[in-house]
Amino acid sequence: MAQAEMTFPADFLWGTATASYQVEGNNKNSDWWVWEQDPGNIANNHKSELACNWWQNAEADLDLAAEMGTNAHRMSLEWSRIEPEPSVFSNDALDRYRQILQAMIDRNIEPMVTLHHFSNPLWLVEKGDFDSDIVVEYFQRYTDRVVSTLGNLVAKWITINEPMVYFYSRYMEKVFPQPNNSGMRAGIHSLRQMLRCHAAAYHTIKDKYPDAPVGVAKNFPIIEPRLDGNRLDHWWASRISRMFNDFWLDALQDGRIRWPFGRGKIKNLAGSFDFVGINYYTRFYVKFPPGKDVIDKQWGPDALVSDGNYGEVYPYGLYRAIKHVLRYKKPIFITENGLPDARDKQRPAFIMDHLRQIWQAISFCYPVMGYYHWSLVDNFEWDRGWTQRFGLIALDPDTQERTWRTSGRLYSEICSSYKVSSDMAQRYAPQMMPVMFPGDPVSVAESQDL
């Protein structure tokens, strides 16, 4: 029987993503390491410890990524390893990163490198980290050393991962390591400083490698009014969405700072991105006036919710996010997309339905160039510790044993064939057949049975 197929372009990038602190292990010079040690900061008082042991053995997981058929991987660098003390750079750390990047290239996996993914050197925290006026000089210097040493191995760069999540989790939710100045004024100042750091890093990279694409990874939750919302709820949802989803990229577009984060322009910021990286996970609801938490974890009666009440599975939101960023007229990469699902019951359908949204966007000639699933292997999930498992490959952090999940096998078939087919849906998530392939004979038969 013929199968229906959603076929992707021949140059599409099929990737996975990781972050240094979450996989390397023993990042003892990071503010996160200190934060972990205090009881109550991490779920179940979990510790990262060896994490996935990438610092010693990243190549083993890259072998799995190659076996999976991926042709791209997004990783980050740990600033606290590269510059363990101010102005003291570790050649050993840079050499190790060269080895990891070369290992990707040797396996035909294109590296995308993130300079900052939530983790700060302890010495930077002591100096005020992103609330400090000198942080821009430090970040530019760090970027310069990294690019000078590693730049010939890096295909694409991301300066800062999820700046608005960093701001929200640090200064509002307070579930990330706390800075010396933790008030809202300091948080807003840190956002402006991060924009200056981004601009400095962007031009530092472009000065050395003018053709290297540089962007940011921006988290794009769908933010809507509560289900029974009134006009004030709708107004508030639109305000929160603009602040969380639009502020950062709008500033990169024209260099301007907007309310409520201040006014004015930042030098060299306008036009300082070559692509948009979308990190997409879920949809959230808000109400006015907000309660203790600005964002409600309220779901509809029929919502499918991932492990630990993490979020609603809402694949169409990815299409909405893609369409939203078309205004910037840049290539688009889905730099993170995944869900915590330890039993791997939801992930196969999740992958196929989110890829269906990307396929639809590409069918309308929207410039989506690649997809990086979060994550390759279970890793230390920040304040949630080991309680949430995002990996295509399961990890036992005690034994370091890896086990392929069914979703990893599915993703391998997709990456190897550049398509999502009705045959895959039937074998991995038959409940998706009527949704994804309604004209397929099997789907028609199932709908008649219902």
**Rounded percentage of the chain residues whose pLDDT exceeds 90:** 90
Residue 450 has pLDDT above 70, yes or no: no
More confident of the two residues 397 and 184: 397
pLDDT digits (tens, 9 = 90+) for 97-125: 999 999 999 999 999 999 999 999 999 99
Q: For position 448, what pLDDT does the model report?
A: 36
pLDDT higher than threshold 50 for residue 444: no
Domains of the chain: 5-449 (3.20.20.80)
pLDDT one-digit tens code per residue, 255-269: 999 989 999 999 999
Is the pLDDT confidence value at 11 over 70? yes
At 447 the pLDDT is 40
Bigger pLDDT: 2 vs 123: 123
User: Rounded mean pLDDT of 209-238?
Assistant: 96
pLDDT tens by residue, 241-251: 999 999 999 99
Does 289 sit behind a cis peptide bond, omega within 30 degrees of 0 on the bond before it? yes
Instruction: Flag whether pLDDT at 196 surpasses 60.
Output: yes
pLDDT 10s digits, 56-67: 999 999 999 999
Long-range contacts of 145-152 (CB under 8 A, 24+ apart): 145/82, 145/83, 145/89, 145/94, 146/77, 146/82, 146/94, 146/115, 147/204, 147/205, 147/208, 147/209, 148/208, 149/94, 149/98, 150/94, 150/97, 150/98, 150/101, 150/113, 151/205, 151/208, 151/209, 151/212
DSSP state of 353: H
Average pLDDT for residues 331-354, to the nearest whole number? 98
CA–CA separation, 441 vs 2, rounded Å? Answer: 9
What is the pLDDT averaged over residues 46-69?
Answer: 98
The pTM for the full model equals 0.96
pLDDT at position 442, please?
53
Quote the mean pLDDT of the chain.
95
Quick one: average pLDDT of 223-230? 91
Residue 194 has which token pair?
């991060």
Q: Quick check: 4 pLDDT over 80?
A: yes
